[in-house]
Structure 1
Amino acid sequence: MRCGREIAGRRKGSHRAWLVLAHRWVGLVIAGFLLVAGLTGALLAWNDELEAWLSPELFLATPPVPDAPAQDPLILRERVQLAYPEALAVHAPLTTQPGRTLTFNLYPLADAATGIEAELAVDQVFVDPHDGRILGARRWGDLTQGLKNLMPFIYRLHYQLALGVVGGRVFGVISLLWTLDCFVGLCLSLPARGGKTAKSGQAGGKSWLARWRTSWGVRWGAGSYKVNFDLHRAGGLWAWAMLFVLAWSAVAFNLSEVYDPVMKSVFAHQQDGAGLRPQSVPELVPAIGWQEAREIGRRLMAEQARVQGYTVLREDALSYEPSIGVYRYGVVSSRDVGDRWGATSLKFDAGKGELKNLWLPTGVASGDTLRTWLTSLHTAAVGGMVAGLPMKLFICAMGLAVALLSGTGVVIWRKKRQGRRHAASAR
């Protein structure tokens, strides 16, 4: 009996050694990336506020008189289109926030001879909603244009290390390793069942839960190494659920070829964009004008709200997709988990006005509901403009926690490496 227990103990010890090895080297590989992601993520939790602080001339608009009405956003879109004939203004926000400008996105036109899309000098235009003046423009993420692109550049760092598609793929792989390492770290925090205590030397001197409870605390009076180790272990445990949410949602953002098959094999999903195929030649000027398209979108959305049993809270945006010849009409509805932007949307044909598909963020397919919550938590988009303040604080703190766990992990590895070197020198 004793021999069997010793063999089982050695096997468990071997398994743990492999987990320690995996946690060590995976942690070292992802530490630098997570340090950047954590610090930039803490800033991005306050993206709107920082954008307005850095570039008030682009994001803030003072009404001429209190409660002054805003102009129709679609009329302002036409004004932007006239000012930038070399591009297409394909996106129009439909709701104006008090004291804020409206942002219009531009779509590059393809050269008639070569078919290659021309590179735009700017792709975002900012308009005063009251008097219709164009206040400025920028090429999103181009740091050479100054501070007005600092936050977009930080977003690019967070999302893809500012390296384009390649950086995004690398971050996707890092996120997948991080997701797996969440479970490895959790396993390593668990005490072995039937272990010995320091006082009694007998198995079962303390309950398994009592021994695991020590992993959740920090020995502040101990030396710097033990405090660092406890911060790494306890910090990872207390924040474990949200760390997993951040890691797996990052896989959804950057590595869809892994996320989608895994989630679709377990959960139901809506057929988003089923039957919509790119046209051989983009339809640059839709047969249905923007004003009529908004009315069609309102009518179709109201019909779907009655059928599906949800409430439209406010309009969000109308956009046109030239490559497939459809309009997308988005609203904030009772199926959304926040009201910063609307995820409830439908697409309809830009020539005939026929409904192509409806997408609801929650309440229809469990996989889509889960993804909506994962990505909304990741981007601090849960709750309204005021109710979302605690969420922003929480996500900011989580970004700093990710950076802290990365730093403490590297310190642990360095200290143990020095210890192994000293032991080898002594031998």
Structure 2
Amino acid sequence: MLRRIWRLHFWVGLFAAPVLVVLACSGLVILYSQPLDALLNRHLLVVEQGPQTVPLDAQVATATQHADAGSTLEAVTPPDGPHASTRVDFSAADAKGYPQAEANVIQVFVDPYTGAYLGQRDQLSGLVGWANQLHRMFGNDGPHVQLPSLGHLINPSAYPESTIPVGIGNLWMELTATWILVLLGSGIYLWWPRAIEAAKPLLRVRWRAGGRVRWRDVHALTGVVVAVILICYILSGMTWTRYWGENWRAVTATVTPSTEIDAPSTPAKLGDYDRLGRRIAWAATDDPIYASQPAAGAARLSYNDIDRIAKDEHMVPGYSIFPPADTTQDGAVVYGSYTVVNRWPQRVSEQRTLYLNQFTGATITNATAAQDGALSRLTSFGIAMHMGNQMGWLTRISATVACLGVLLSAVTGLLMWWKRRPTGRSGLPGPASESTRANTPKKAMISVTVIAVVLGILFPVFGISLLVVLVAEAIISSRRPPPDHASLVTSTITSRSVEPSPE
């Protein structure tokens, strides 16, 4: 069993290692995106503090003058500190939204003290933008496939579409993430203490042994230390995937529904404002945008007014203001509301959305994580841990250790293979011999099968890929000529010398 799990671990590692390296490198950039962004784009983000600020509406007007013709103002983010600029987001007239793509925005920056235009950038440009693109494997940008919607089966009225459009890149990410769980589980199994490997150290490295033994110890120790963190990261990251994540959203909304707020709403949802780099809290994506009741003779409030209310309500600095969007239903105008959301990423305690009447500034509702269902709050907690925000520097450090551990595991795994490969051969493990298959304990095979079936049910994309792998291996095995007794003995001896135990 040990030999067969080692072979599984090797081949899954060969498949998953490149993606793990990309995730680790891009994740490190995203983890420290704020200081990196401030360093690389200081001319856009950092300003000299002045005696007084220019009215926010004048700053928005300046940004609008420098935006492309036909673009739509999406959000205004007032400065989050005395040396920060004001950011105004615009979407291009021809910008594609979900499901065709992850809608991109143009960010225009203005000095709040002088009102001067500082410049603009594409949100997905630069080091941080590219890291976001790579980390999600370009999300829904590019070709799509239509996959069945579990939400439609559970609640057709809430999820009227029977399929979910899923980007090929996002689907590949979901598939690889589940195989990484297999990689971590098989790695823990190989590390686990057992009598047959009594000489194998568990929590130390045999530095003086040198060669493959040393790299094996570093690989095993690093892997087992970061495995628990990585499993949590994979599971929390899966909630963002376009397919499994959307189905999980439907499950959480059905099993532990959020508290409904009794107030008139518009056709829009808060998730319509979701953009990379300025995301809406996961649990709030399906929340409606509430309607404003018009006041006689009242005009729409200014951004200055909304900014003052947001500060009085103690919104977290760095919050964004979404302008109201009015719609027409059955010949009547439905007035939207100003929507103020706290900066993302955020702690669960900071999850908050303020809906303000666009004419009076009165609070229509104040939505926080307390109104979310238990599973939604748990998911939000996992996401906050994933982003390194929930427990401040503690989670930032653990995330950094996990990323560096992934890179070290990939390097040591490569060194182990290089040291153990026979001269003139690749050293890639072949299929188990007949004697190895015969000696595999039945209970162990049943346990592995049960685990595979459970994972295949929980993660259908993984289940389908596993079936494909098993069918392909069965076809290859059926075409392989059966060895005679003499060659079988030789093969077994060679296998024992070429395919050493994970020790």
Per the normalisation by structure 2, the TM-score is: 0.59
Cα deviation, residue 412, structure 1: 3.3
Whether 1:48 and 2:20 are equivalent positions in the alignment is no
Cα deviation, residue 247, structure 1: 1.5
Aligned partner letter, 2:374: S
Whether 1:224 and 2:211 are equivalent positions in the alignment is yes
- Return closer, same or farther for 1:110/1:186 CA change in 2, 3 Å cut-off: same
**Who is 1:330 aligned against?**
341
**Who is 2:128 aligned against?**
151
- Return closer, same or farther for 1:181/1:92 CA change in 2, 3 Å cut-off: same
1:250-261 equivalences in 2 (<5 Å): 250-258=237-245, 260-261=247-248
Give the counterpart of 1:189 among 177, 182, 191. 191
Q: Does the 8 Å CA contact 2:258/2:371 hold for their aligned counterparts?
A: no
Which structure would you say has the larger RCO, counting Cα contacts within 8 Å and 6 or more residues apart? Answer: 1
Aligned partner letter, 1:405: S
**Who is 2:155 aligned against?**
none
1:299-338 equivalences in 2 (<5 Å): 316-320=319-323, 322=325, 327-331=338-342, 337=347
Unaligned runs of 5+ in 2: 142-166, 273-291, 328-335, 428-493, 499-503
**Who is 2:151 aligned against?**
none
Q: Once the two structures are superposed, what CA deviation does each residue of 1:28-48 show, in whole Å capped at 9, x if it has no partner? A: 111001111112222332212
Look up the SS of the partner of 1:215 in the other structure: coil
Paired residue total? 360
- Return closer, same or farther for 1:138/1:252 CA change in 2, 3 Å cut-off: same
**Who is 1:306 aligned against?**
none
Give the counterpart of 2:300 among 282, 289, 310. 289
Look up the SS of the partner of 1:254 in the other structure: coil
**Who is 2:85 aligned against?**
101
- Return closer, same or farther for 1:218/1:51 CA change in 2, 3 Å cut-off: same
Aligned partner letter, 1:150: L
- Return closer, same or farther for 1:129/1:426 CA change in 2, 3 Å cut-off: closer
Look up the SS of the partner of 1:30 in the other structure: helix
Q: Does the 8 Å CA contact 2:171/2:243 hold for their aligned counterparts?
A: no
**Who is 1:368 aligned against?**
376
Give the counterpart of 2:235 among 241, 248, 251. 248
Deviates more, 1:180-189 or 1:416-425: 416-425
Q: Does the 8 Å CA contact 2:253/2:376 hold for their aligned counterparts?
A: no
Q: Does the 8 Å CA contact 1:363/1:369 hold for their aligned counterparts?
A: no
Whether 1:412 and 2:411 are equivalent positions in the alignment is no
Deviates more, 1:28-37 or 1:413-422: 413-422
Separation of aligned partners in 2, 1:176 and 1:425: 31
Aligned partner letter, 1:404: L
Q: Does the 8 Å CA contact 1:77/1:89 hold for their aligned counterparts?
A: no
Aligned partner letter, 2:380: T
Separation of aligned partners in 2, 1:175 and 1:357: 38
Unaligned runs of 5+ in 1: 1-12, 112-116, 143-148, 200-210, 303-310
Q: Does the 8 Å CA contact 1:296/1:353 hold for their aligned counterparts?
A: no
**Who is 1:32 aligned against?**
18
Separation of aligned partners in 2, 1:185 and 1:131: 58
Deviates more, 1:402-411 or 1:225-234: 402-411
Deviates more, 1:81-90 or 1:348-357: 348-357
The alignment's C-alpha RMSD in Å is 4.4
- Return closer, same or farther for 1:321/1:228 CA change in 2, 3 Å cut-off: farther
Separation of aligned partners in 1, 2:303 and 2:118: 27
Whether 1:139 and 2:122 are equivalent positions in the alignment is yes
Cα deviation, residue 183, structure 1: 2.7
- Return closer, same or farther for 1:331/1:151 CA change in 2, 3 Å cut-off: closer
Per the normalisation by structure 1, the TM-score is: 0.68
- Return closer, same or farther for 1:53/1:197 CA change in 2, 3 Å cut-off: closer
Q: Once the two structures are superposed, what CA deviation does each residue of 1:126-179 show, in whole Å capped at 9, x if it has no partner? A: 11121111100112224xxxxxx2321222222226993433332232222223
Separation of aligned partners in 1, 2:412 and 2:208: 18
- Return closer, same or farther for 1:44/1:161 CA change in 2, 3 Å cut-off: same
Look up the SS of the partner of 2:401 in the other structure: helix
1:379-394 equivalences in 2 (<5 Å): 379-382=387-390, 388-389=392-393, 391-394=395-398
Aligned partner letter, 1:48: Q
Look up the SS of the partner of 1:106 in the other structure: strand
Aligned partner letter, 2:252: K
Cα deviation, residue 235, structure 1: 0.9
- Return closer, same or farther for 1:350/1:47 CA change in 2, 3 Å cut-off: same
- Return closer, same or farther for 1:166/1:62 CA change in 2, 3 Å cut-off: farther
Cα deviation, residue 180, structure 1: 3.8
Look up the SS of the partner of 1:137 in the other structure: strand
**Who is 1:344 aligned against?**
352
